[in-house]
Every structure is written in structure tokens, then in C-alpha cells.
Amino acid sequence: MISLVDQTNLFTSIAKRLDKKITIYAIGGTALMFLGLKANSLDIDLIFTNDKDRQAFKKAAESLGYGEMDAKVVYGDRSNKPILIKLDDARIDLFLLKVITSTFSKQMQKRSEDTIRQFNDNLIIKIADIHDLIIMKAVTGREKDELDILNIINNSKINWDLIINEAENQVNLGSERAILELRTTFENLTNKNKVVIPEYVLDKLWNLLNKQIDKNAKK
């Protein structure tokens, strides 16, 4: 497990070893720790917008003793696998714009500018917005991500229309299952009496899903 202190110390150490300034995005448990919504995480999840910055970060981490590991061990044959680097029990997942089926869209990048952390002079980390974390976690099908979504909803003011609009945007960017998985996740949480999702949200997602099915049928 990685704590917020571990995460902060690691980023500070890597920042000292970077030979240029880079900007990256924190997602997953990494973002939730920065936002005070989680105490620890199994790994550190980061998104890069270009491979040069990703390689620079990887090089700096390797100077601390981190070594690359086979991404198939964690992600199997899924597409858009990240570069994985590991030291002892700490693992860092370095994604390039796409997180398996999700695309870290321009809109997601812009929303991340509301919360920024800087480490030394060379490392700027922008924290993914809570709404986008919900969308990215909804497509994994993992129970721990469902629990994270529940935690976000219970401790945040949610703009449901923003989530619906981004889910539709994800479909347009190629994530065909974004709306389906989001609605399924919300329905699961409701059926388990974990949280109350507004009925209009489920209805809108259902209508968007039907439109998507009709559109695909006409192709």
C-alpha cells in the first residue's frame, strides 16, 4: 500500500531527478489521495500527454531504483496498457492519454487544472476531477473501483449532467461501452442500497444507450 506521505515523498524525489519541466495528470487512487478521499492506494496512476515526458519520468524513477515490469502481468492482453515500473511494493502505472478503454479527453484535462500540485521546479501534477474519476472507474468492473465511486458520491457535490455529457463524449472518442458501464455501475450501487442515483440520470443514460444502439445498427 502507498500512503499520501509515501506518494508525496516519491514525487519529490523524482522531481529532483528530472532534467526538464513536465506536466502530468493524477488519476485513480493517486488523485483520490490528493483530494483527501482515500488514505492509501495499491499503486500510483499517472497520465502523460506525450511519450517524451513519460520517458523522462521513467528515467528519473529508474535512477531511484525502479525497474520496468511486464504490463501483461497486471493488464493481460488489454489494449492501451501503461508502462509499469516497480520498486519493492510500490508500483507506478504510466498511461499515455488512454486508460485502457477510457480517453483522457481535452475536457478532462481542462477540469484537472482546478487542482494542481508542484514538486520542486520540474514536476507539475494536475489532479483529475472527481466526475472524471467516476467515469474512468465505472468501466473497470472491479469492486474496489465501485467502492471508490461510492466514496466520491457520498463525500462530494456531484454535477450529474457533467458526468452524462462526458460519458457521451467518451463514446464519440471510441469508448463504445462508456455509457453502458456507467449506467450499470450506477444501477448496481442503487440496487445494493449503497447510494441514491437520481432517476433522471439513469433515464438519460438509458436514452443515450438506445440512441447509440440505433446508430450502430444503421452503420
Average pLDDT, integer, range 21-27: 97
- Coil, helix or strand at residue 19: coil
Instruction: Please report which residue ranges of the chain form alpha helices under DSSP H.
Output: 4-17, 28-34, 51-62, 72-75, 106-111, 130-138, 143-154, 160-172, 178-191, 199-217
Is 120 or 193 the better-scoring residue by pLDDT? 120
Q: Say how far apart CA 139 and CA 155 lie, in whole Å.
A: 21
Nearest partner of 24 among 37, 38, 42, 10, judged by Cα: 10
Cell of 142: 472491479
Give the Å distances, CA to CA, from 18 to 23, 26, 27. 12, 18, 21
Give 142-190 as a DSSP string.
-HHHHHHHHHHHHTS---HHHHHHHHHHHHHTT-TTHHHHHHHHHHHHH
Q: Tell me the percentage of the chain whose pLDDT exceeds 70.
A: 100
Instruction: Give the model's confidence band at 192: pLDDT under 50 very low, under 70 low, under 90 confident, else very high.
Output: confident
Q: What is the pTM of this model?
A: 0.93
pLDDT tens for residues 118-152? Answer: 999 999 999 999 999 999 999 888 888 999 999 99
Does residue 79 have a pLDDT over 80? no
Domains of the chain with CATH codes: 1-128 (3.30.460), 130-219 (no CATH)
Paired with 126 in beta bridges are: 25, 116
Longest dimension (CA), the chain: 54
> Alpha-carbon distance 184 to 7, whole Å?
32
